[in-house]
């Protein structure tokens, strides 16, 4: 059955090569998913060779884990590994891509300049997808020569496990782009939903209320482990573990975007701001208990 709002699937264009801009946490998880599900060449790009190598290395290591678990055989593992590559220069590798997705830093000016660069080296039909979790697709596409090929393609962490994919239509996204996005989402075996181009779409808007309220509870003096344990049994993951999985900086950015759009409804936790300013990437230490440095940041008035 066609998902509500999805255009005629006959308009979908084939995807024979995928480009990924970024080789970080989300980007490398996306590379793994695309190579496993689409079985087409996937090329990751980033600013320097070290990041590129780390991204490709992650994909290879995850394929090795699947092999070790007996989920795939040697032939498939080797085939999938050979399909993933990395480069610094987009012009060298994106020329024949028909689907490029960006998963770089969550900042409008950065995303716009990435798409402007990519547009110079891809065909006019190549879909430009963004994994943004909160930013406007319409604005991201506004200065491009072909804004009609830009679409939101928002995955959730961990990408391999979370079933949902939010597909976001910008004001100028055309039906062929949308059909290609839905077709690709289906090939990736995700549950696709069409969402409005509004701040943080659906999932992160809901999550923003939830995480904002948990942040407020801790700001009011409840210790993180108590807030975490209060949710055992009602949520798949304690809230501060989820926040650490997503990344405190991303979570803060989401809440700031939502607070900017709906100031009466969204809370930006000063403690979370301090955690991000201290460049903490998790609330927990290696032993799974709360990091004492984070604890101190939560207590600082
Ligand atoms: N990467 C890949 N696979 C992972 C993984 C990871 N980081 N973490 C867990 N998995 C896999 C495991 O390998 C296992 O797979 P298997 O059954 O095939 O072996 C499966 O997930 C279940 O893992 P576990 O049994 O170890 O653990 P749980 O049953 O506790 O499930 C979870 C783990 C699926 C991550 C669960 O805790 C969960 O659903 N958490 C909530 C995650 C969530 O809400 N994500 C959305 C965040 S919002 C977001 O991403 C948007 C962004 O824009 C900010």
Provide the 8-state DSSP code for 289: S
Report strand pairing: 164-169 vs 150-154. antiparallel
What pLDDT score was predicted for residue 2?
63
CA neighbours closer than 13 Å in the CB half-sphere of residue 100: 31
| 288 in contact with ligand 1, CB cutoff 6 A | no
CATH of the domain at 275: 1.10.1040.50
- Same domain for 60 and 170, yes or no, is yes
pLDDT band at 7 (very low <50, low <70, confident <90, very high): confident
- Same domain for 157 and 213, yes or no, is no
- Residue 1 pLDDT more than 70? no
- Same domain for 28 and 101, yes or no, is yes
Cβ 34 vs Cβ 42: under 8 Å = yes
- Same domain for 157 and 256, yes or no, is no
Identify whether 3 is part of a domain: no
d(CA 26, CA 103): 6
| 160 in contact with ligand 1, CB cutoff 6 A | yes
What pLDDT score was predicted for residue 301?
65
- Same domain for 167 and 20, yes or no, is yes
pLDDT (tens digit per residue) in 9-60: 899 999 999 999 998 989 999 999 999 999 999 999 999 999 999 999 999 9
Query: Which of 3-12, 22-31, 218-227 is least confident?
Result: 3-12
- Same domain for 150 and 252, yes or no, is no
- Same domain for 93 and 219, yes or no, is no
Could you check whether the bond before residue 298 is cis, i.e. omega within 30 degrees of 0?
no
**Active-site annotation, residues:** 154
- Same domain for 295 and 155, yes or no, is no
- Same domain for 172 and 28, yes or no, is yes
Look over the chain and give the mean of its residue pLDDT values, rounded to a whole number.
95
What pLDDT score was predicted for residue 167?
98
Q: For 271-290, what is the mean pLDDT?
A: 96
What's the domain range around 284? 203-299
CATH of the domain at 38: 3.40.50.720
Q: Is the dihedral of CA 239, 242, 244, 246 positive or negative?
A: negative
159 CA distance to ligand 1 centroid (A)?
A: 8
pLDDT (tens digit per residue) in 105-143: 999 999 999 999 999 999 999 999 999 999 999 999 999
pLDDT band at 3 (very low <50, low <70, confident <90, very high): low
Domain end marker among 140, 165, 195: 195
What pLDDT score was predicted for residue 257?
94
74-83 and 49-68 are packed helices; what angle lies between their axes, rounded to 10 degrees? 170
Nearest Cα residue to atom 17 of ligand 1: 161
Domain count, the chain: 2
Mutate to test the pocket of ligand 1, among 153, 161, 245 (most ligand atoms within 8 A of CB): 161
Comparing CA positions, the residue from 19, 253, 245 lying closest to residue 135 is 253
Identify whether 2 is part of a domain: no
Burial of 2 (0-12, 13-18, 19+ CB in 10 A): exposed
pTM beyond 0.90: the answer is: yes
Domain end marker among 195, 227, 255: 195
Identify whether 261 is part of a domain: yes
pLDDT above 90 as % of the chain? 91
What pLDDT score was predicted for residue 94?
95
d(CA 152, CA 173): 10
- Read off φ and ψ for residue 57, nearest 5 degrees: -60, -40
126 CA distance to ligand 1 centroid (A)?
A: 31
Identify whether 4 is part of a domain: no
pLDDT band at 196 (very low <50, low <70, confident <90, very high): very high
- Same domain for 170 and 236, yes or no, is no
Identify whether 31 is part of a domain: yes
What pLDDT score was predicted for residue 20?
98
Provide the 8-state DSSP code for 143: T
């Amino acid at each position: 059955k066609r998902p509500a709002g999805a255009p005629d699937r006959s308009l979908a264009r084939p995807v024979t090569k995928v480009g990924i801009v970024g080789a970080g946490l989300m980007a490398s998880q996306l590379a793994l998913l695309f190579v496993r599900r689409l079985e087409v060449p996937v090329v990751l790009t980033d600013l320097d060779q070290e990041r590129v190598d780390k991204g490709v290395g992650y994909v290879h290591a995850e394929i090795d884990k699947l092999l070790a678990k007996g989920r795939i055989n040697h032939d498939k593992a080797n085939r999938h590994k050979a399909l993933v590559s990395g480069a610094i220069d987009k012009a060298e590798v994106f020329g024949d891509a028909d689907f490029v997705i960006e998963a770089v830093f969550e900042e409008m000016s950065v995303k716009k300049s990435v798409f402007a660069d990519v547009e110079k080296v891809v065909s006019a039909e190549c879909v430009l997808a963004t994994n943004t979790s909160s930013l406007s697709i319409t604005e991201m596409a506004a200065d491009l020569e072909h804004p009609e090929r830009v679409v939101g393609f928002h995955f959730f962490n961990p990408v391999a496990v979370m079933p949902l994919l939010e597909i976001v239509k910008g004001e100028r996204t055309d039906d062929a782009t949308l059909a290609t996005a839905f077709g690709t989402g289906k090939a990736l075996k995700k549950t696709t939903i069409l969402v409005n181009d509004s701040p943080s779409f659906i999932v992160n808007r809901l999550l923003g209320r939830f995480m904002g309220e948990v942040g407020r509870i801790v700001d009011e003096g409840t210790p993180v482990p108590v807030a975490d344990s209060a949710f055992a049994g009602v949520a798949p993951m304690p809230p501060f573990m989820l926040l650490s999985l997503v990344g405190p900086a991303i979570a803060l950015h989401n809440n700031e975007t939502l607070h900017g759009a709906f100031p009466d409804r969204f809370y930006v936790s000063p403690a979370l701001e301090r955690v991000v300013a201290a460049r903490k990437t998790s609330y927990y230490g290696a032993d799974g208990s709360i990091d004492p440095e984070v604890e101190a940041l939560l207590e600082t008035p």
